[in-house]
């Protein structure tokens, strides 16, 4: 039953329903109002059905449904106004839990959308709305008891200005999929609760300025930011969901306000999935902020976390894990390029001591046969001129780094038959010393190639940075 039906009417002035009570369906579809559409403090009562239908309404100077009480769906789907759309202090109760309490999808408002202090007990639908002047829902209370419906859906919404949920309480899913916010988006001092599902679904959300999530009173449910892009991320730990409840794949942000404990934030993602992009994005943001050391730690943690993922969920990739373990210990996955030089220095110094000792106990012997045919060497072990004498440090370096020659390895080698002292297991010292000699050579080949890789990687990154600076300038 219609209490009022004004389909397609054209009103030269305003429509005022202030303080009125309507039982049944109030019908204003495709109405054109040259002034305002005002229903402040009105009551629309039609439980289980639609209470107010104003789809396609055009009100040149604003739509005001503040302080209304509605039992039944209120719909302004496709409505247009050159002023504000105001529903402050309104109370909406949908026909049933799975239904819509306020339907303003495809709304077009030129001076802002205001849902401050509303109470809604079914879905509020704002999909595809185009708002100039901001969308404010401070102190809003929206409860959707149906797991099949979101509490507030704003998929595809476009806003020029701010989107603001301060001191709001959302029980159910808050959706902003593929929304475009040409300003700031902030959720502050609010609670988002959807324990069995997603608390905030913001896939492919685009925010030009700040994306602020701080001082949450509670956050129950997952947070899905996959594919979102924001200018600057400003969140704190109160807005971080529980472990395995954060989705960050392809989430991009130009900079980041709070950098503390960011590795813990990254690790709130699902343990049975691994994506490197969130680590790379965080490292890039930290680097822009001047925290190069912390950015490097994030990149190293990326490798560590990938190894843990492989160990738990892809155990068959043993050789991948082994190679990554070596890269971690040798060059920090390429992010600690100075480590090979340190290891080379330690090995060369250690070898210096060993080869010096081996020379003292006559394990080190000349390679060339002509030495052994020289009478001076036969009589008193005096090397013939110009045969180079053994220099333990340079010999250690020579055999360790295969690509550089210092004129030592070609002239000296350990004699496996040299006694060198007390025999061990009935073998001379020279026999055992050759094992260290081989180990020294093998480690030299490995660490030298690792150092070469680190140098090439550094040059590649330096060249990429140069090209990026040249392109940006």
* β-pair partners for 103: 75, 125
Please tell me the predicted confidence (pLDDT) of residue 97.
Answer: 66
Cβ-contact 37, 18 below 8 angstroms: no
Cβ-contact 231, 256 below 8 angstroms: no
Secondary structure element (H or E) that encloses residue 51, with its range: strand 43-53
* β-pair partners for 235: 213
Token pair belonging to 323: 């190679």
Please tell me the predicted confidence (pLDDT) of residue 99.
Answer: 84
Domain boundaries defined on the chain: 2-307, 339-454
Cβ-contact 140, 160 below 8 angstroms: no
Please tell me the predicted confidence (pLDDT) of residue 466.
Answer: 65
Handedness of CA 8, 9, 15, 17 (dihedral sign): negative
Could you give the angle at which helices 339-360 and 429-472 cross, rounded to 10 degrees? 160
What are the φ and ψ backbone dihedral angles of 355, each rounded to 5 degrees?
Answer: -70, -30
Please tell me the predicted confidence (pLDDT) of residue 368.
Answer: 86
Residue indicated by tokens 């959706």: 175
Residues 6+ apart with CB under 8 A from 277: 248, 249, 250
Q: Distances from the Cα of 242 to the Cαs of 4, 130, 171, 222, 268, in angstroms?
A: 50, 34, 17, 8, 7
Please tell me the predicted confidence (pLDDT) of residue 1.
Answer: 53
Please tell me the predicted confidence (pLDDT) of residue 9.
Answer: 85
Q: Cα 136 vs. chain centroid, distance in angstroms? A: 27
Please tell me the predicted confidence (pLDDT) of residue 461.
Answer: 66
According to DSSP H, which parts of 240-334 are helical?
A: 262-266, 277-288, 292-313, 318-331
Residues 6+ apart with CB under 8 A from 36: 14, 15, 16, 59, 61, 62, 63, 64, 83
313-336 burial, b if ≥16 CB within 10 A, otherwise e? eeeeeeeebeebeebbebbbbbbb
Please tell me the predicted confidence (pLDDT) of residue 78.
Answer: 95
Residues 6+ apart with CB under 8 A from 30: 7, 8, 55, 56, 57
List per-block mean pLDDT (blocks of 10 residues) for the chain, which spans 473 residues: 75 91 89 94 91 93 95 94 96 82 96 96 96 97 86 97 97 96 97 94 97 96 96 95 96 91 93 92 90 87 88 82 74 72 86 88 84 77 85 89 82 77 68 85 83 73 67 62
pTM over 0.75: yes
Reduced to 3 states (helix: H, G, I; strand: E, B; else coil), residue 412 is strand
């Amino acid at each position: 039953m219609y209490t009022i039906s004004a389909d397609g009417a054209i009103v030269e002035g305003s429509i005022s329903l202030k303080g009125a009570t309507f039982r049944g369906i109030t019908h204003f579809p495709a109405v054109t109002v040259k002034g305002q559409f005002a229903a402040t403090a009105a009551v629309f009562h039609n439980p289980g059905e639609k209470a107010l239908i104003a789809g396609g309404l055009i009100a040149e100077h604003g739509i005001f449904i503040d302080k209304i009480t509605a039992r039944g769906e209120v719909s302004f789907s496709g409505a247009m106004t050159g002023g504000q759309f105001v529903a402050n202090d309104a109370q909406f109760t949908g026909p049933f839990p799975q239904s819509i309490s306020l339907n303003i999808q495809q709304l077009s408002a030129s001076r802002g959308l205001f849902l401050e202090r509303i109470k809604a007990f079914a879905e509020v639908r704002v999909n595809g709305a185009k708002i100039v002047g901001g969308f404010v829902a401070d102190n809003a209370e929206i409860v959707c008891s149906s797991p099949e419906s979101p509490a507030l859906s704003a998929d595809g919404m476009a806003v020029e200005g701010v989107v603001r949920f301060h001191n709001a309480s959302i029980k159910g899913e808050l959706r902003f999929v593929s929304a475009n916010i040409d300003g700031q988006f902030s959720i502050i001092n609010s609670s988002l609760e959807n324990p069995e599902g997603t608390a905030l679904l913001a896939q492919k959300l685009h925010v030009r300025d700040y994306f602020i999530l701080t001082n949450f009173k509670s956050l129950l449910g997952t947070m899905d930011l996959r594919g979102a892009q924001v200018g600057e991320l400003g969140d704190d730990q109160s807005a971080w969901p529980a472990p395995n409840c954060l989705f960050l794949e392809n989430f991009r942000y130009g900079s980041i306000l709070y950098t503390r404990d960011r590795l813990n934030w990254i690790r709130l993602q699902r343990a049975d999935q691994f994506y490197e992009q969130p680590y790379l994005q965080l490292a890039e943001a930290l680097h822009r902020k001047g925290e190069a050391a912390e950015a490097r730690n994030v990149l190293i943690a990326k490798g560590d976390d990938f190894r843990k993922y492989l160990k738990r969920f892809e155990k068959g990739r043993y050789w991948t894990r082994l190679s990554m373990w070596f890269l971690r210990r040798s060059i920090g996955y390429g992010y600690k390029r100075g480590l090979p030089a340190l290891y080379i220095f330690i090995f060369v110094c250690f070898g210096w001591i060993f080869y010096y000792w081996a020379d003292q106990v006559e394990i080190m012997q000349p390679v060339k046969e002509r030495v052994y045919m020289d009478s001076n060497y036969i009589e008193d072990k005096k090397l013939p001129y110009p045969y180079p004498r053994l220099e333990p440090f340079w010999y250690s370096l020579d055999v360790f780094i295969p690509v550089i020659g210092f004129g030592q390895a070609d002239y000296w080698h350990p004699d496996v038959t040299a006694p060198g002292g007390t025999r061990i297991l009935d073998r001379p010292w020279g026999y055992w010393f050759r094992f260290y000699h081989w180990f020294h050579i093998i480690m030299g080949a490995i660490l030298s190639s690792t150092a070469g890789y680190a140098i090439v990687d550094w040059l590649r990154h330096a060249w990429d940075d140069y090209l990026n600076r040249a392109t940006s300038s």
